Amino acid sequence: MNRINTLSDLLMEELAELFNIEYQLVQALPKMAQACQSSALKTVLEGHGGVTKIQAGRLQDIFSNIGQNPQAVICRAMKDFIGEGEYVMKELEKSTIRDTAIISVMQAVEKYEITGYRRACEHAADLGHTRIVELLSETLIEERAMNLHLNELAQLMINDQAIDPSPKAGSGGFYIPKGKFNRNRIKRKRNNTDLSRFISEGNPNSQDPQER
């Protein structure tokens, strides 16, 4: 029998899925952080591991506030993203290329989470659940900040790969000719500054169109 018949049922399903997403990430993020070559990426992933535990706790608060237990839902999409991350860690050696691939996986994760939290926020607002909207919005701000961190790191990784004038076979052909290389060096310097700002302060007011 279909257990989702109302918007309220749908919201409960969405919250249960978000809870499972955070649970899966709490397990996966420390492993991904350990697999990174870049200390900046490792710091960002470790930091987000701690934030993810808080986000799972927030969802638990929501369920206890409304007097319900989360349904036993497994988010298959998140399972696939994490499977992709495990594949990257197994098949690639510790390198900038592996870091870049880990960032790609995490960018997909963040976009999925942002979409899920936005949808749940909208449904909670439609149902007049003000407190749920407030709690979900806090997480949404954190996910958007993480998405920005990853975008910055992705740019740094691309620029690092531009330094190698003779990429090894199978590196993905990231060689960039000298003229472009020089421009990237300048850009990298600027991004380094931006990155440390984001790591220390975060950016909760992101209007970054790339996260959409």
206 binds Fe ion (CB under 5 A): no
Integer Cα distance of 130 and 192 in angstroms: 39
Site for Fe ion in 110-129 (CB under 5 A): 113
Integer Cα distance of 23 and 112 in angstroms: 15
Integer Cα distance of 40 and 34 in angstroms: 12
Site for Fe ion in 53-92 (CB under 5 A): 55
54-68 burial, b if ≥16 CB within 10 A, otherwise e?
ebbebbeebbeeeee
Instruction: Closer to Fe ion by CB, 24 or 161: give it.
Output: 24
**Shortest distance in whole angstroms from residue 74 CB to Fe ion:** 16
Instruction: Closer to Fe ion by CB, 113 or 152: give it.
Output: 113
Instruction: Closer to Fe ion by CB, 52 or 159: give it.
Output: 52
SS3 content of the chain, % helix, strand, coil (to 5): 75, 0, 25
Instruction: Closer to Fe ion by CB, 11 or 25: give it.
Output: 25
Which residue number is nearest to Fe ion in terms of Cβ? Answer: 55
Residue 203 carries which DSSP code?
-
Instruction: Closer to Fe ion by CB, 52 or 203: give it.
Output: 52
The phi, psi pair for 79, rounded to 5°, reads -60, -40
- How many H helices and E strands in the chain? 6, 0
The interface mask with Fe ion, positions 18-57, x = CB under 5 A, is ----------------------------------x--x--
Size of the site for Fe ion (CB under 5 A): 3
Binding site for Fe ion (CB under 5 A): 52, 55, 113
